[in-house]
């Protein structure tokens, strides 16, 4: 089995590499990132390639080198806030690599199975009465990032319909855990707490909107779902993945603060407030659970605890 992870240097991609190498020790697992530089968490067996998949020729070269039987596409511009400041960069980063991958596999006539990781952000503003969100919910993205994920999602459908490529689309809701970039809310809180404990930062955590509620799954459960999706789900279909429960950002912060022995205050930072904010997101993952039998195994409280421990170690 030859497997290619697009975005293996990222948060979910690195955890996916761990899962695939543990579950399929005889597999040849390749990883693509903008650089081939190894990070401390990369397993030695992962074969890393530095490549810019926005370039069609570089993308074709990767496919020729790897001849992948499975492609997990997790790369792109993942920050909602950044998408407002540079919309086109987000659209290009999230759409061009996917098109180039589809074309490279199509023209090489490979029997590759694709997993396209879209996002719950495709749904955008959903009325409270429409929760939990099913796959039939209309797209109503409220950010350029959300628009880019709609594009990725529908490109996957189009290449399945037009060219018969084996493509499964998943729409993950929020996932948290170790290795997540501190521009996201959970690691932002955790890194600030770790810095306070290390005496690097005053005992004040800067926060944004704490009332918003999100469906949060541990990343280690989420990537196991990705593997199941590609092996057991129906080509051409889209599947929500999430816990089916939402938690407020305030609750997440309170759990993180409970793991610290230092008295810490909070302070609203206007820069952390978004132009648009969705009050609540809850996933209906019944379609995916019926297809795979998957359910999250890691308790919600464990994810922020492990994240904080990771940030403490990273802080040195």
Asked if the model's pLDDT at residue 94 lies above 70, the reply is yes
- Give the per-residue pLDDT at 76: 94
Task: Tell me how many degrees the CA angle 209-212-213 measures, rounded to the nearest 5.
Answer: 150
- The pLDDT > 90 percentage for the chain reads 89
- Give the per-residue pLDDT at 227: 98
Asked if the model's pLDDT at residue 214 lies above 70, the reply is yes
Q: What is the CATH number of the domain that holds 273?
A: 3.90.25.10
Q: Contact 205/308 with Cβ under 8 angstroms?
A: no
Q: Contact 187/174 with Cβ under 8 angstroms?
A: no
Q: What is the mean pLDDT of residues 237-243?
A: 98
Nearest to 257 by CA among 212, 214, 180, 204: 204
Give per-residue pLDDT as tens, 165-206.
999 999 999 999 999 999 999 999 999 999 999 999 999 999
Same domain, 73 and 171: yes
Is 106 a domain residue? yes
Is 69 a domain residue? yes
Token pair in block for residue 129: 């009465």
Asked if the model's pLDDT at residue 276 lies above 70, the reply is no
Give per-residue pLDDT as tens, 125-180.
898 899 999 999 999 999 999 999 999 999 999 999 999 999 999 999 999 999 99
Q: What is the mean pLDDT of residues 208-237?
A: 97
Same domain, 119 and 236: yes
Is 309 a domain residue? yes
> What is the domain extent for residue 17?
2-176+216-241
**First-last CA distance in the chain:** 38
As for how many domains the chain has, the answer is: 2
Total residue length of the chain = 316
Task: Tell me how many degrees the CA angle 121-152-272 measures, rounded to the nearest 5.
Answer: 35
Is 74 a domain residue? yes
């Amino acid at each position: 089995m030859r497997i290619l992870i697009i975005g293996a240097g990222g948060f979910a991609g690195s955890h996916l590499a761990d899962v695939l190498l543990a579950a399929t020790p005889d597999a040849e697992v390749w990883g693509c990132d903008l650089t081939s530089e190894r990070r401390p968490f990369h397993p030695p067996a992962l074969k890393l390639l530095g490549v810019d998949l926005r370039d069609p020729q570089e993308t074709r070269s990767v496919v020729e080198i790897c001849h992948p039987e499975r492609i997990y596409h997790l790369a792109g511009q993942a920050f909602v806030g950044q998408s407002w400041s540079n919309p086109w960069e987000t659209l290009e980063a999230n759409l061009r690599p996917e098109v180039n991958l589809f074309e490279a596999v199509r023209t090489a006539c490979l029997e590759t199975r694709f997993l396209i990781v879209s996002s719950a952000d495709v749904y955008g503003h959903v009325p409270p009465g429409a929760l939990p969100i099913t796959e039939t919910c209309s797209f109503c993205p409220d950010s350029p990032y959300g628009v880019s994920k709609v594009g990725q999602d529908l490109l996957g459908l189009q290449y399945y319909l037009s060219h018969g490529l084996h493509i499964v689309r998943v729409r993950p809701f929020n996932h948290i855990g170790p290795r997540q970039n501190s521009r996201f809310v959970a690691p932002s809180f955790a890194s600030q707490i770790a810095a306070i404990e290390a005496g690097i930062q005053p005992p004040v955590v800067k926060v944004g909107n704490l009332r918003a509620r999100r469906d949060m799954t541990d990343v280690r459960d989420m990537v196991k779902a990705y593997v199941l999706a590609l092996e057991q789900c129906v080509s051409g279909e889209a599947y929500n993945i999430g816990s089916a429960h939402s938690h407020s950002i305030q609750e997440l912060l309170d759990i993180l603060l409970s793991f610290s022995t230092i008295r810490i205050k909070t302070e609203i930072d206007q820069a952390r407030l978004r132009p648009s904010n969705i009050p609540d997101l809850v996933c209906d993952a019944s379609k995916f659970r019926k297809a795979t039998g998957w359910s999250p195994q890691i308790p919600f409280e464990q994810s922020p605890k492990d994240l904080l421990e990771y940030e403490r170690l990273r802080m040195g």
